């Protein structure tokens, strides 16, 4: 029998489709709002601070996903008033910890549908990240903490990434250590960004990569010695791009996406459906349970802070 997570949400998907057809006020959010994103607008720049108050590690859980999906829907409406979106985190230890691994275990209940309503062949978080890649705004991630798994896939879905050289910045695509693959295409994006050999090295080893290394190989655009320099650089870059016509930003993104992004079908077939087949298997279910145990239920502690060095504890 399929685990719960592969069974129940179809009912939810139906419900949400129905709700979206009802006459709702234009500004009503499609998904529940949890206040995990603080947004402020400055000229044509929207600053979005990820502040998951339900988690000590800025977990990419249903709260953040729900709030991000509502934000994406607003931005997709070609709100030409916003030309650049800058994502940063309130938690200086974690930009985005990783996905909420409970998501993959039986009994997990989410307010979100399992599969996206717009792209029914894509799991909800996969569709969410895909949508971010083609927002009509330029997107920039400002990294001041650890970012692993889907956190790195979120970085890959942004147009540009800048980091601080703080020791809190550790970037990793850690899925291989849990017996799976980056299901939203993180390995595929990374291979295009830093090359085949380095992508294999970092993704197969599930290593933590520091900001200087990430900048040297092109994983992030640049790394800055102080948060002040980091924010000053991004502020100036965002303000500059935001002066330009929205049409130019959209047109340029179309071309760079065509040259550097895998197709939706390739991501679905070679990343998402590969992990989906592995998830219900006993070794993977066991690995996720072990992960939740050693991370003390995905909370801040030695394992989450230093996963790259501590990963062997999964196999003790």
Ligand X SMILES: *[C@@H]1O[C@H](CO)[C@@H](O)[C@H](O)[C@H]1NC(C)=O
Instruction: Using CB under 6 A, list all residues that contact ligand X.
Output: 38, 49, 51, 53, 69, 72, 76-78, 90, 116-118, 124, 127-128, 131, 136, 250, 292, 297
CB of 265 to ligand X, least distance (A): 15
Q: How far apart are the C-alpha atoms of 13 and 44, rounded to whole Å?
A: 34
Cβ proximity of 173 and 202 under 8 Å: yes
Residue with tokens 């939810």: 12
- In terms of CB distance, is 206 or 298 closer to ligand X? 298
CB of 245 to ligand X, least distance (A): 12
For residue 122, which of 301, 307, 275, 272 has the smallest C-alpha distance? Answer: 272
CB of 73 to ligand X, least distance (A): 6
CB of 222 to ligand X, least distance (A): 23
Cβ-proximal residues to 82 (8 Å cutoff; 6+ apart), any chain: 41, 44, 45, 46, 75, 137
- In terms of CB distance, is 57 or 170 closer to ligand X? 57
- In terms of CB distance, is 216 or 289 closer to ligand X? 289
Q: What is residue 9's three-state secondary structure?
A: helix
CB of 125 to ligand X, least distance (A): 8
- In terms of CB distance, is 124 or 202 closer to ligand X? 124
- In terms of CB distance, is 219 or 307 closer to ligand X? 307
To the nearest 10°, the Cα dihedral for 207, 213, 219, 222? 150
Q: What is residue 47's three-state secondary structure?
A: strand
CB of 102 to ligand X, least distance (A): 6
In angstroms and rounded to an integer, the radius of gyration of the C-alpha atoms of the chain is 19
CB of 103 to ligand X, least distance (A): 12
- In terms of CB distance, is 6 or 13 closer to ligand X? 13
Cβ proximity of 137 and 75 under 8 Å: yes
For residue 291, which of 53, 54, 103 has the smallest C-alpha distance? Answer: 103
- Compute CA distances 48 → 158, 220, 299, 314, whole Å: 13, 19, 23, 34
CB of 307 to ligand X, least distance (A): 18
Maximum CA pair distance of the chain? 56
Cβ-proximal residues to 241 (8 Å cutoff; 6+ apart), any chain: 83, 84, 138, 249
- In terms of CB distance, is 131 or 165 closer to ligand X? 131
The alpha carbon of 186 is separated from its chain's Cα centroid by a whole number of angstroms, namely 9
- Compute CA distances 134 → 116, 137, 143, 252, whole Å: 16, 8, 21, 11
Query: Which DSSP string corresponds to 208-242?
Result: -EEHHHHHHHTSSSEEESSHHHHHHHHHHHHHHHH
- In terms of CB distance, is 129 or 207 closer to ligand X? 129
């Amino acid at each position: 029998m399929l685990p719960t997570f592969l069974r129940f949400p179809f009912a939810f998907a139906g419900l949400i489709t129905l709700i979206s057809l009802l006459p709702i006020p234009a500004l009503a959010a499609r998904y529940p709002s949890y206040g995990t994103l603080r947004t402020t607008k400055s000229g044509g720049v929207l600053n979005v601070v990820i502040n998951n108050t339900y988690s000590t590690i800025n977990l990419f859980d249903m709260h953040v996903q729900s709030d991000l999906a509502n934000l994406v829907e607003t931005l997709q409406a070609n709100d030409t008033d916003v030309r650049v979106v800058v994502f940063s985190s309130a938690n200086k230890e974690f930009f985005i910890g990783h996905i909420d691994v409970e998501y993959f275990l039986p009994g997990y209940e989410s307010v979100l549908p399992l599969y996206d309503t717009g792209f029914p062949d894509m799991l909800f978080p996969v569709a969410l990240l895909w949508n971010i890649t083609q927002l009509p705004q330029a997107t920039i991630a400002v990294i001041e903490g650890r970012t692993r798994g889907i956190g790195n896939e979120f970085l890959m879905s942004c147009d540009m990434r800048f980091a601080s050289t703080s020791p809190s910045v550790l970037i990793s695509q850690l899925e291989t250590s849990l017996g799976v693959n980056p299901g939203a295409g993180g390995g595929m994006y990374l291979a295009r960004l830093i090359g085949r050999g380095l992508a294999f090295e970092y993704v197969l080893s599930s290593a933590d990569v520091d900001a200087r290394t990430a900048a040297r190989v092109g994983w992030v655009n640049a790394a800055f010695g102080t948060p002040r320099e980091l924010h000053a650089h991004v502020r100036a870059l965002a303000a500059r791009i935001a002066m330009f016509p929205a049409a130019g930003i959209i047109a340029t993104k179309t071309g760079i996406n065509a040259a550097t992004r895998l197709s939706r079908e390739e991501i679905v077939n070679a990343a998402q459906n590969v992990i989906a087949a592995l998830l219900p298997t006993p070794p993977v279910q066991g690995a996720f349970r072990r992960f939740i145990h050693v991370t003390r239920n995905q909370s801040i502690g030695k394992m989450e802070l230093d996963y790259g060095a501590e990963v062997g504890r999964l196999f003790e």
